[in-house]
Amino acid sequence: MSNQKKDKLTPEQQQYQNFAKGIEPKRPVLKNCIRAFISGGIICTIGQLLQWMYINYFNFKEQTAGDPTSATLIIISVLLTGLGVYDHIAQYAGAGTAIPVTGFANSMSSAAIEHRSEGYVLGVGGNMFRIAGPVIVYGVFSAFVVAIIRVVLGWLGVM
């Protein structure tokens, strides 16, 4: 809590804040970081193994093997979310499961599953993009800004 907000608290509220802070369990930050690092590394290793498999067994080039690898990771993530397994993995691994492709697929599919009782259009479709919408908009907008900068730098002869 900021100092400015603390100044506005009554003595009883300040006393409660101090009490709550005293009994709040300490978070195992180092342990959580190690778990996130290892689990994120395992997810990335699985992605590398999938990419290696697509290159060696399905005759993809290194430049083109990324698309089926991402699609496979998304499918696995959605399936694990639907079966309820991804939540248990995320509970253990924390931020390690927020690897962009799998974490994004999990957030979209869990929102869709949660609201399926409201119907496919308003429930699944509407709520699935409630979480993903800002991410997609930000990604498209930042790509547009970077493209404009690159074009301007190209006209200036810098690139």
What letter represents residue 30's amino acid?
L
Q: Which residue has the higher pLDDT, 120 or 80?
A: 80
Q: Over the stretch 109-144, which tens digit does the pLDDT of each residue have?
A: 887 777 777 777 777 777 776 767 777 778 888 999
pLDDT confidence of 107, banded at 50, 70, 90? confident
pLDDT in tens, 22-79: 898 888 999 999 999 999 999 999 999 999 999 999 999 999 999 999 999 999 999 9
More confident residue, 5 or 66: 66
Beta carbons within 10 angstroms of residue 121's beta carbon: 8
The model's pTM: 0.69
In this prediction, residue 7 carries a pLDDT of 67
